[in-house]
Amino acid sequence: MNRILQILSLSILIFLYSCDPDQNSNINQGPDTITIDSLKIHRKVLIIGIDGFRSDVMQESMTPFMFALQNKNSYYNVIHETEEITYSGPNWTSMLTGVNQNKHNVLDNSFENYNYNDYPPFFYYLNQANIGIQTSSIVNWTPINNYVLSDYSDYAPENSMNDLTVFENAKQILLEENPLDVDVLFLQFDELDGAGHSYGFSPTTEEYVNTANTIDSYASELYNIIENKRLKGEDWMFTIISDHGGEGTSHSDGSHPDVNRTIFFAEHPDIQFKADCCYFSNQADLAPTVFDFIGVSSSHFNNNTDGLTIIE
Residues that bind Zn ion (CB under 5 A): 51-52, 88, 193, 243
Q: Provide, rounded to whole angstroms, the least separation between the CB of residue 56 and Zn ion.
A: 17
Q: Are 235 and 184 in contact (CB under 8 A)?
A: no
Q: Provide, rounded to whole angstroms, the least separation between the CB of residue 54 and Zn ion.
A: 11
CA dist 201 and 242 (Å) reads 14
Going 169 to 49 to 163 to 119, the CA torsion angle's sign is negative
Nearer to Zn ion, 144 or 209 (CB): 144
Write out the H or E segment, with its range, that includes residue 239.
strand 236-242
Nearer to Zn ion, 88 or 202 (CB): 88
Q: Are 174 and 219 in contact (CB under 8 A)?
A: no
CA dist 119 and 122 (Å) reads 9
Q: Provide, rounded to whole angstroms, the least separation between the CB of residue 308 and Zn ion.
A: 23
Q: Provide, rounded to whole angstroms, the least separation between the CB of residue 192 and Zn ion.
A: 9
Q: Which residues are bridge partners to 47 per DSSP?
A: 186, 239
The amino acid at 214: T
Give the E-state strand segments of 54-189 in sequence order: 74-81, 135-139, 184-189
Q: Provide, rounded to whole angstroms, the least separation between the CB of residue 154 and Zn ion.
A: 25
Taking Cα atoms as reference points, which of 190, 120, 119, 186 lies closest to residue 154? 186
The amino acid at 118: D
Nearer to Zn ion, 193 or 306 (CB): 193
Nearer to Zn ion, 263 or 271 (CB): 263
Q: Provide, rounded to whole angstroms, the least separation between the CB of residue 193 and Zn ion.
A: 5
The amino acid at 95: M
Q: Which residue number places its CB atom closest to Zn ion?
A: 88
Q: Provide, rounded to whole angstroms, the least separation between the CB of residue 271 and Zn ion.
A: 28
**3-state DSSP assignment of residue 31:** coil
Nearer to Zn ion, 243 or 276 (CB): 243
Q: How far is CA 106 from CA 51, 128, 147, 166, 225, in A?
A: 17, 23, 10, 24, 34
Nearer to Zn ion, 133 or 241 (CB): 241
Nearer to Zn ion, 30 or 52 (CB): 52
